[in-house]
Structure 1
């Protein structure tokens, strides 16, 4: 379909262009004729007006506009009227087709306009012969080249916007996947360990098995609540529940209790004065601790863990060490997606991240995050 969707601002601009060219044509055609020694005639100004006013719909109907302008200009030149402002209308019409229509369509339309316009060189009132073909061809070739360049630039910019939107969407999906992995992975690891304890104690010590089942219930509820908060934050069209805060270092006591219920004693040490951190930094620090402790549950075997938080004037550092099997746990411990996710979180905020086995046994995860200087 030829019609182009142009808003009211575009329609107003095209109308202004048409009126401006009409004024230039009415004022400038007679002086152009005097300068060339070519008289004007009865049809001069009607043809000038038709060519100029057709441009009022140039972007809505580019091909139709070019056809009308070409007929008017060809008739004008064949009648032997002077080269004047009417050619500006022709240049704008050719440019518009090249800028707003596909290359093949624009090229065919431009070729037709060129054939029509150059007829005056051969059969007009004042034929110029073959020597006049080159200047006449330039009236089509130059605006066509400019219009094609503008269209290509516009299409490249549009593709760039699409690619950027796709990149942002991919980054958002990765962020959501990482959040869900951290929340669900930790919760399921803790529940699995607590279920193993409950099954082991059910026959011999049912009262302790009941405590493990209670811990499973509490852990699953906490994990579901945290997952709900995470998804609510991601779904920006809904209002987040203010009663369920975004996870942060302030929730380490609950995390420690959850791990203790799963059979992993966790010690938390704090160096420096705790303070409010930027939300992204607070969440990243908490996720590093959470994922590191989840790895302890999954890979370290019977072990204890120590979490150290150090508050410096312009950064916060978190470290998780355990007394488990370290590198002996296999490649899943040292090269899993959990470590990659932690590293991505930290480096995205401009921090540093290291992880590896500790000499003599155990594993260490350390991250430093910039938090802004305290005044």
Structure 2
């Protein structure tokens, strides 16, 4: 796949789905692993917000001192490591918050580092440590508020209301639920990204297979004609110079046509997405195949049954290549000098039959041996079938059925 295709497919993928812009920013933040900016913002928010909360809750809580500031700073600073050590940070922020609350300092944004630490742990897949950290925070808070308050500062205070415990529990549940939702969404985005990559790889593989099949069909047919005519020219060079000249003329025409078709196939590689310079060959070019076969000494009889129709480009190209490959195999492997091509048109399908009377020559004719496989692939790509093999009475037969993908237009 070219860089141009990657940019195009990547743009289409972002338009069709994938994470939103803020999530891509989160992913980049995660890749850096040291989230300085967000951590500094949280430190500033916790310090300023806790100072404001301390002034609002002067009684009965302990005023903020250096130890309180250190706890707030340490709990927030742990967030620098939340991508590398998510479990440790989740428990560390919870412990810092518990010590802060146990020391009798006022409520405030002390819970923000806990939320971010547990959030990062869940997103990173450390669900149990994250749940354990928030559970420890809630249980510790309940013990401090309803039992340990007797021995902890400030002195003379009473138990907290259970309404506050419900509020803390709701806060914990909201944090965990939001983290779980983001984790699920990130897994879904990852799956979609892998599916898009797999689909792009399949498209690239299918394109390579199509080009390889086209090149095989073009070169196999043309080189077979050239090979036969070169043999004729060499044999008649001294005894019949005029016939040798005719063979050389046929070689020149076949090579020129092969070069043109190869150039057309390769143009699709140089300029993906651009329209080809000439239309793909179809059944309207069967007379050319007959002339080329005649130049090799093979007589081809064409027969048509049913009402001739215009085929869709894909079906027309497949039909042309199947006939071309079948005739190439006759030239290469058969001792027969005649072949019959029958086109059977039906409302939604085309039948192809190519017969030769044989027998097989048994000579080494060259080639990759992929001709029949290529014909089957072309037919299967259209939902059709193909059968090829020896006939009971001798010779060889290729029988194919190609369905139409759209209702064709009849000739007048």
User: How far 1:83 moved relative to its partner?
Assistant: 9.1
User: How far 1:191 moved relative to its partner?
Assistant: 0.8
Counterpart CA distance in 1 for 2:25 and 2:190 is 21
Aligned residue in 2 for 1:284: 318
Post-superposition Cα deviations, 1:53-94, rounded to whole Å, max 9, x if no partner, equal x8xxx9998569968965874465434579999758744542
Return closer, same or farther for 1:292/1:127 CA change in 2, 3 Å cut-off. farther
Aligned residue in 1 for 2:243: 208
Q: 2:296 aligns with which of 262, 272, 279?
A: 262
SS of structure 1 residue aligned to 2:239:
coil
Kindly indicate whether residue 367 of structure 2 is the aligned counterpart of residue 367 of structure 1.
no
Give the RMSD, CA atoms, in angstroms.
Answer: 5.1
Counterpart CA distance in 1 for 2:348 and 2:307 is 12
TM-score w.r.t. the length of structure 2 is 0.63
Counterpart CA distance in 2 for 1:181 and 1:59 is 59
Q: Is the 8 A contact 1:63 1:109 kept in 2?
A: no
Aligned residue in 1 for 2:204: 169
Structure 2 unaligned regions, length at least 5: 1-18, 30-40, 54-58, 150-164
Give aligned pairs, total: 334
Post-superposition Cα deviations, 1:5-53, rounded to whole Å, max 9, x if no partner, equal 99457669x9xxx9xxx9xxx9xxx9xxxxxxx977877xx99xx99xx
User: How far 1:343 moved relative to its partner?
Assistant: 1.0
Q: Is the 8 A contact 2:93 2:114 kept in 1?
A: yes
Counterpart CA distance in 2 for 1:208 and 1:123 is 109
SS of structure 1 residue aligned to 2:342:
strand
Aligned residue in 2 for 1:350: 383
Counterpart CA distance in 2 for 1:331 and 1:366 is 25
Aligned residue in 1 for 2:333: 299
Return closer, same or farther for 1:352/1:119 CA change in 2, 3 Å cut-off. closer
Kindly indicate whether residue 250 of structure 2 is the aligned counterpart of residue 179 of structure 1.
no
Counterpart CA distance in 2 for 1:304 and 1:273 is 26
Q: Is the 8 A contact 2:383 2:403 kept in 1?
A: yes
Return closer, same or farther for 1:314/1:190 CA change in 2, 3 Å cut-off. same
TM-score w.r.t. the length of structure 1 is 0.69
Structure 1 unaligned regions, length at least 5: 31-37
Kindly indicate whether residue 113 of structure 2 is the aligned counterpart of residue 96 of structure 1.
no
User: Counterparts in 2 of 1:1-375, with a 5 A limit?
Assistant: 7=21, 73-74=97-98, 77-79=101-103, 90-91=114-115, 93-99=117-123, 101=124, 152-237=187-272, 239-242=274-277, 244-325=278-359, 329=362, 336-371=369-404, 372-374=406-408
User: How far 1:359 moved relative to its partner?
Assistant: 2.3
Aligned residue in 1 for 2:7: none
SS of structure 2 residue aligned to 1:306:
strand
Return closer, same or farther for 1:281/1:6 CA change in 2, 3 Å cut-off. closer
Q: Is the 8 A contact 2:312 2:408 kept in 1?
A: no
SS of structure 2 residue aligned to 1:342:
helix
Aligned residue in 2 for 1:35: none
Post-superposition Cα deviations, 1:235-287, rounded to whole Å, max 9, x if no partner, equal 55363453x32111111111111111122111222223333211111111111
Post-superposition Cα deviations, 1:269-325, rounded to whole Å, max 9, x if no partner, equal 222333321111111111110111111111112421111112221111111111222
Counterpart CA distance in 2 for 1:190 and 1:182 is 13
Counterpart CA distance in 2 for 1:59 and 1:274 is 74
Q: Is the 8 A contact 2:228 2:296 kept in 1?
A: yes
Comparing 151-160 and 336-345, the one that deviates more: 151-160
Return closer, same or farther for 1:84/1:338 CA change in 2, 3 Å cut-off. farther
